[in-house]
Amino acid sequence: MPVSLETPLDLAVGAKNAGALEKAFGMTTTADLLAHYPRRYANRGELTPILDLPVGETVTIVAEVMSASIRDMRNRRGAMMEVTIGDGIGRMSLTFFGKHRSQLEWREKELRIGRRGVFSGKVGRYKGVTQFAHPQYELFDDELEARTKADTMVTIPIPIYPATAALATWQIQRMVETVLDELGDVPEPLPETLRREEGLLDARTALERIHRPRTRDQIAPAVRTLRMHEALTLQAALLEQRQRVRSLAAVRREAAPGGLLERFDAALPFALTDDQRAVGGTIAADLVAGAPMNRLVQGEVGSGKTLVALRAMLQVAESGGQAALIAPTEVLAAQHLRSITAMLGPQLAPEVMPTLLTGQMGAAARRKAALRVAAGQSLIVVGTHALLGEKTTFADLGLVVVDEQHRFGVEQREALRAKGTSPHALVLTATPIPRTVAMTVFGDLDTSVIRSMPPGRAGIETFVAPLADHPGWFSRVWERAAEEVEQGRQVFAVCAAIDTDKQGAVEQGTVDPGVEVDPGVDDGEAPTGPRWGVVQLLAALAVHPRIGGLRVAGLHGRMPADEKDAVMRSFARGEIDVLVATTVIEVGVDVPNASTMIVHDADRFGVSQLHQLRGRVGRGSVPGLCLLVTEAEQGTTARERVEAVAATLDGFVLAEVDLELRGEGDVLGAQQSGARSSLKLLRVVKDADLITQARGIADEILSADPTLAEHPGLRAAIDRRLSDDDRAALAKN
Ligand code: ADP
Ligand code: MG
């Protein structure tokens, strides 16, 4: 039976294999299997040093059988076969067990001395010898090799697939070959002209060559072609999603003359910046366009995103529409509520009744808040993800604002959208996102940037305190901090851990466990943990001659929420001079009197994260000072990261630097690398140009052919990449 890309795997490779593929990789169709590209290619002659095999990992090596023997077990029934294999450098042993000798004899015949093959298993160590217990293996067909002496046979690359302990690379290889043998025509996702201009392969050939190249030369063109498939399909899918949202009807939210927005603007004690005015104008137009707004606003901390969002909420409120603001943590939600209430002032606040609704509120308070929301009395509702819960109902949800959430995926946005009749959506982020990442992760959103900062900021100076070169600078840093406090200012000190004496004391994020300690720091340059935990720094400061007498407090994610909130509040009221904290203070915290940010073990943080931390100070009229303390040696990547932050205040420049220094791995974050943006061959840094090109092409195609009726190959590719979950989310529209 000819197989197509949509054929379920059980029909293509049998139920048992299909089950194994689904369990291991979640694959269900042949398209899934064929998109499981080789991780690398081995040669038949390739030797992988057995000596270096990492214990506990599942690996694949090419080796030769050196000896094999079967013996009865000494202490219990059964027999054991031991095979020694070597790679020319090291040796290891394979062990197989059987109830009886006879069960092992066929292996003995197969694993003859001198035979070569690929062996795969979990690396163990027994009595000092590296071993695989019950490994999987496949021997090279030496007869064939002997017959066709040709060199080509030896140089045919062997694809090595991402595999698991249960599913070895050559098992995958065999299934892929089965599918390729039966595969009929593959619809072409790329327009003919593009293929010709770029010299790309047809889809069928590209798949053939990435999975079973005859020579190494065939691999690169196949990868290039499939990378373009990925880029174009992704961009077309995102643009289509954007188009889909735009085609929905949304309630027009007109601002009335003399209404809430006009009164708010009139009472503002300052003029809007040009960027605020421009972005505000765009949003105001979005809100009356009749289709749901779906917009991302990027802007540095303090650039006025909250202000811009609040103005949008007021515009919606004029017609009785409600706005929901989602913050990543309870602390930030509470802070938002306070600052929004303050910005509204005593006149407007009672009219829109800003209401907090979070999971940690007492049952009675919560019920009361929920009632106000359901009845439509409260026009501005602030909360955490709990607002997404099914229990919350709105009378007329007109606008959803998501703050600081590039960790907030399409699915969540869609879930929220489902709560109203296509409400408008505004996503705010203070993390500058490089253009191609924005295009990839937020490709379905329109984007606006607030680049300029409100006037009257005193600015921030950043210094690196390199303890590797100048150990004495640690005390100078703290003397400087003491001077700031003497001038009536406040100091943040950030640590990478809570308690460095305790195992696992590295702070876990309240939102996402990866957030607080940057995963990008694992570059082998800092084999030990961070030097300073909150606990250790508090202890050191207590006996410091100039700090010991000051009001110092600690703050970290293991403290109960109300305690954290209390500490934050008293810091905000100026009752604490020095706040020693983990990155729980990273996002959104606003204390204008704080002048100084000291980051210990600064090399432990990512570039963007350091930039975010620095954004906590220099926010008011008080000049900011940021001291990045590091023990990283000059010339290391860790040190480079820290120096880069000190070198510029431009978050967009730093975002690019961050991408480059981190490499490819984690730019999208754990959540974003989920179904919608799962990139296989595409790399947002390296392939920035390709992504931009693909977006242009996708745009052209979709403008001329919105339903892709003329582009069935692309249509099919897009439909395939939408997982079932996504479909469910989209269906809610
Ligand atoms: P963001 O949400 O981007 O961090 P906010 O909207 O919270 O920024 O604004 C930061 C601070 O700057 C707030 O205190 C706000 O009142 C103030 N602010 C915003 N826009 C202006 C402006 N145009 N002129 C002066 N101050 C402003
Ligand atoms: Mg804000």
What pLDDT score was predicted for residue 636?
A: 86
Residue 537: pLDDT band (50, 70, 90) is very high
pLDDT value of residue 522: 33
Q: How confident is the model at residue 309 (pLDDT cuts 50, 70, 90)?
A: very high
DSSP string computed for 22-67? HHHH---BHHHHHTS--SEEE-TT----GGGPPTTSEEEEEEEEEE
Q: What is the pLDDT of residues 403-426, one digit of tens each?
A: 865 455 556 666 666 666 688 989
Ligand 1 atom 15, closest CA: 304
Residue 302 CA to ligand 1 centre (angstroms): 5
- Note the pLDDT of residue 670: 32
CATH number for domain 44-156, candidates 2.40.50.140, 3.40.50.10140, 3.30.2350.10, 1.20.200.10:
2.40.50.140
pTM of the model: 0.65
Q: What is the average pLDDT across 21-47?
A: 85
User: In the 8-state DSSP scheme, what is residue 376?
Assistant: T
CA of 317 relative to ligand 2 center, distance in Å = 20
Inter-residue contact 225 to 694 (CB < 8 Å): no
CB 278 within 8 A of CB 451: no
- Give the rounded distance of the alpha carbon of 202 from its chain centre: 32
Q: Does 260-450 match 460-648 in CATH topology?
A: yes
Residue 729 pLDDT exceeds 50: no
Q: Tell me which ligand sits closest to the C-alpha of residue 299.
A: 1
Please tell me the distance from the alpha carbon of residue 122 to that of residue 164, in angstroms, as a whole number.
9
The percentage of the chain sitting over the pLDDT mark of 70, rounded to a whole number, equals 85
Residue 363 scores a pLDDT above 50: yes
Which residue has the least CA distance to atom 27 on ligand 1? 454
| Average pLDDT across the chain, whole number | 83
State pLDDT tens for residues 132-164.
888 878 888 765 554 444 444 456 788 989 888
The binding-site residues of ligand 1, defined as CB within 6 angstroms of any ligand atom, are 270, 272-273, 276, 299, 301-307, 454
Nearest 10 degrees: Cα torsion 712, 713, 714, 716: 80
Domain limits, the chain: 44-156, 260-450, 460-648
Q: How far apart are CA 35 and CA 180, in angstroms?
A: 12
- The set of residues, in sequence order, having a beta carbon less than 8 Å from that of 436 and lying 6+ positions away, is 684, 685, 687, 688, 691, 692
pLDDT, average across residues 221-232: 95
| Measured distance CA(303)–CA(673) in Å, rounded | 29
Condensed to tens digits (0 to 9), the pLDDT of residues 635-688 reads 888 898 899 999 988 887 887 787 777 654 443 433 333 333 356 787 776 788
For the cut 80, the answer to whether the pLDDT of residue 726 exceeds it is no
The fold of the 460-648 domain, in CATH, is: Rossmann fold (3.40.50)
Q: Which mutation among 272, 307, 429 tests ligand 1's pocket best, with the greatest number of atoms within 8 A of CB?
A: 307
Q: What pLDDT does 509 receive?
A: 31
Measured distance CA(666)–CA(663) in Å, rounded: 8
- Lowest model confidence (mean pLDDT) among 308-317, 515-524, 646-655: 515-524
Q: Answer yes or no: is pLDDT of 47 > 70.
A: no
Atom 14 (ligand 1): residue with closest C-alpha? 302
Sorting pLDDT into bands at 50, 70 and 90, what band is 731?
very low
pLDDT at 587: 55
What CATH number labels 260-450?
A: 3.40.50.300
For position 144, what pLDDT does the model report? 56
Nearest CA to ligand 1 atom 9: 304
pLDDT at res. 364: 92
